[in-house]
Structures are given as structure tokens and as C-alpha cells.
Structure 1
Amino acid sequence: MYRIKPSKPSAVFGAIVGLAMIVVVLVRFPLREPFVWLWLAVAVGVVGFSLWAAFAKRGAEKVVVEDRPPSGS
């Protein structure tokens, strides 16, 4: 099984899109609406995950996960 994290350029792009989502919601919508707070929370999560994936030491790599112990022992 493989777990593939986003590449650095796509993670940076995701962070930029998340920041754009935050700016749009702050400029266009009133903060008294509950949906706005949900939108902001999701956008902050997108930015946080994207920045982690882009700049963490092991943030942008392909990870191989073994489902069973290797045979032959």
C-alpha cells in the first residue's frame, strides 16, 4: 500500500487557494453568518495542511506502508 502526499508545488498552490478563500469570505460575506465561520475553519485547515505538506521534513514524499511482515524469515 502507498500513501502519497502532495508534491511541494501542489501543496504551495493549495495554500495559495486556501488564502484566497479566506480573503474572499472576509471581503464578501458578513461574519455573523454561521456558514462563514465553517468556511473560514475549512480554509484555515487547507492552508495549514498545505503548508505542512510543502515545508515539513517528510511532508512531500511517497511513503510505502507494509501491510504484512516480509516473508522468508
Structure 2
Amino acid sequence: MASYKVKPSKPVAIFGAVFGAAILLFGIFSGIGRNNGFIWLWVAGGVAIIGFNLWAAFSERGATEVVETREDSPDSVR
């Protein structure tokens, strides 16, 4: 069984990090003066999105999924 690691392209991963930064800033600025758990959850989600996308963009092992093919599959190349 062969397996292939699939990475997103750098522009897509960087766009995802920028989107995560927008989520982070929205969470911080909309939560000014409030101290509830949802704001902290929102900020943690933004940080996680930024970290995951930067890892996928710049790490050599930054594969986001693994595709496995079986030898007896009709789509496999012989």
C-alpha cells in the first residue's frame, strides 16, 4: 500500500493564517470590556488556525492529510 502526503500550497496556507489573524483580532476587539468564556474560546480558535496554517506552510512535514492507495484497486498505476 503506497501512501502520499498532501500539503496545501504556501499561498493557501498563508491566506489561512491571515484569516486566522482576522478571527483573532475580531475576537480581541469585540471582547474588550467583556470577560466571558466565549471570547477566550474565539481567541484560542484564532491562535490554533494561525499556528496550524503556518506549520503547514513552512514545515517540511506539514502534510495535512495522507492518501493511501491499495495495490488491488482499479485506479492504482501498475
Q: Which has more strand, going by share of residues?
A: 2
The CA deviation string for residues 32-63 of structure 1, in whole angstroms up to 9 with x for no partner, is 11011111111111000000011112326985
- Aligned residue pairs, count: 69
Quickly say closer, same or farther: Cα 1:60–1:12, change in 2 above 3 A.
farther
Q: Which runs of 5+ in 2 are unaligned?
A: 72-78
Q: Which runs of 5+ in 1 are unaligned?
A: 69-73
Distance across 1 between alignment mates of 2:47 and 2:70:
33
Distance across 1 between alignment mates of 2:42 and 2:64:
29
- TM normalised by structure 1 equals 0.72
Q: Could you list the runs of 4 or more consecutive aligned residues of structure 1 that deviate by over 3 angstroms after TM superposition?
A: 60-68
Name 1:55's counterpart in structure 2: 58
